[in-house]
Amino acid sequence: RAEVVINGSSLPAVADRSNESLKHSIQPASSKWRHNQTLSLRIRKQILKFLDAEKDISVLKGTLKPGDIIHYIFDRDSTMNVSQNLYELLPRTSPLKNKHFQTCAIVGNSGVLLNSGCGQEIDTHSFVIRCNLAPVQEYARDVGLKTDLVTMNPSVIQRAFEDLVNATWREKLLQRLHGLNGSILWIPAFMARGGKERVEWVNALILKHHVNVRTAYPSLRLLHAVRGYWLTNKVHIKRPTTGLLMYTLATRFCNQIYLYGFWPFPLDQNQNPVKYHYYDSLKYGYTSQASPHTMPLEFKALKSLHEQGALKLTVGQCD
Ligand code: CTP
Helix (H, G, I), strand (E, B) or coil at 104: strand
pLDDT at 219: 96
Whether the pLDDT of residue 289 is over 90: the answer is no
C-beta of 243 in contact with ligand 1 (< 6 A): yes
Residue closest to 239 by CA, chosen among 299, 282, 193, 291 = 291
C-beta of 262 in contact with ligand 1 (< 6 A): yes
User: 16-44 pLDDT, tens per residue?
Assistant: 444 566 677 788 888 899 999 999 999 99
User: 146-184 pLDDT, tens per residue?
Assistant: 999 999 999 999 999 999 999 999 999 999 999 999 999
Measured in Å, residue 249 CA sits from the centre of ligand 1 at 16
Within the chain, what is the greatest distance between any pair of CA atoms? 58
Measured in Å, residue 62 CA sits from the centre of ligand 1 at 32
293 is catalytic: yes
Tell me what the mean pLDDT of segment 309-319 comes to: 95
pLDDT at 30: 84
Nearest CA to ligand 1 atom 2: 262
> If residue 214 lies in a helix (H) or strand (E), which one and from where to where?
strand 214-216
pLDDT tier for residue 82 given thresholds of 50, 70 and 90: very high
pLDDT at 17: 46
C-beta of 314 in contact with ligand 1 (< 6 A): no
Mean pLDDT of the chain: 91
Best residue for ligand 1 mutational test, from 6, 21, 230, 295 (most atoms within 8 Å of Cβ): 295
Measured in Å, residue 7 CA sits from the centre of ligand 1 at 13
Tell me what the mean pLDDT of segment 133-145 comes to: 98
pLDDT at 287: 55
Indicate which residue of 125, 277, 293, 306 is catalytic.
293
Which atom of ligand 1 is least distant from the CA of 156?
A: 28
Cβ atoms within 10 Å of 212's Cβ, excluding its own: 12
Residue closest to 99 by CA, chosen among 246, 254, 244 = 254
Whether the pLDDT of residue 119 is over 80: the answer is yes
C-beta of 132 in contact with ligand 1 (< 6 A): yes
Spatial separation of the C-alpha atoms in residues 231 and 19, rounded to whole Å = 27
User: 200-220 pLDDT, tens per residue?
Assistant: 999 999 999 999 999 999 999
pLDDT at 25: 79
Spatial separation of the C-alpha atoms in residues 39 and 233, rounded to whole Å = 14
End-to-end CA distance of the chain: 37
Tell me what the mean pLDDT of segment 239-267 comes to: 97
Burial readout 68-91 (b: 16 or more C-beta within 10 A, e: otherwise) = eebebbeeeeeebebbebbeebbb
Report ipTM (2 d.p.): 0.97
Tell me what the mean pLDDT of segment 220-246 comes to: 96
Measured in Å, residue 278 CA sits from the centre of ligand 1 at 11
Which atom of ligand 1 is least distant from the CA of 112?
A: 8
Best residue for ligand 1 mutational test, from 26, 113, 129, 241 (most atoms within 8 Å of Cβ): 241
pTM above 0.95, yes or no: no
Spatial separation of the C-alpha atoms in residues 46 and 228, rounded to whole Å = 11
pLDDT at 8: 31
Measured in Å, residue 67 CA sits from the centre of ligand 1 at 33
pLDDT tier for residue 1 given thresholds of 50, 70 and 90: very low
Nearest CA to ligand 1 atom 18: 109
pLDDT at 16: 42
